Structure 1
Amino acid sequence: MYTDGACSGNPGPGGWGTVLMYGEHVKEFSGGEANTTNNRMEMLAVIQGLTKLKEPCEVHIYTDSAYIYNCFQQKWYINWQKNGWKNSKKQPVENKDLWLEMLEQVEQHKVVWHKVKGHSGDKWNDRADALAVAAAQKYK
Structure 2
Amino acid sequence: MNEQAVKIYTDGASRGNPGPGGYGVVLLWGKHKKELSKGYRLTTNNRMELMAVIAALEALKKNNLELVIYSDSNYVVKAVMEGWLKKWIKTNFKGNIKNRDLWEKYQELSTNHRIHFKWVKGHAENIFNNRCDILATEAADGKHLLIDEGYEEAKNNKLL
What is the TM-score when the length of structure 2 is the normalising length? 0.83
How far did 1:59 drift? 0.8
Higher RCO (CA-CA < 8 Å; seq separation 6+)? 1
Aligned to 2:25: 18
How far did 1:82 drift? 1.9
Q: Identity over aligned residues, as a percent?
A: 45
Structure 2 Cα separation of the partners of residues 40 and 103 of structure 1 = 15
- 1:60 is aligned to 2:68: yes
Aligned to 2:78: 70
How far did 1:77 drift? 1.3
- 1:114 is aligned to 2:106: no
Aligned to 2:47: 40
Which residue of 83, 90, 93 maps to 2:91?
83
What is the TM-score when the length of structure 1 is the normalising length? 0.94
- C-alpha distance after superposition, 1:6-53 (max 9, x if no partner): 000000000000000111111100001100000000011000001111
**Segments ≥4 residues shifted beyond 3 Å:** none
Structure 1 Cα separation of the partners of residues 86 and 137 of structure 2 = 32
Aligned residues: 136
Cα RMSD of the aligned pairs, angstroms, is 1.1
Structure 1 Cα separation of the partners of residues 137 and 42 of structure 2 = 14
Q: Which AA in structure 2 matches 1:138?
A: G
- 1:126 is aligned to 2:151: no
Unaligned runs of 5+ in 1: none
Unaligned runs of 5+ in 2: 1-7, 146-160
Structure 2 Cα separation of the partners of residues 53 and 8 of structure 1 = 29
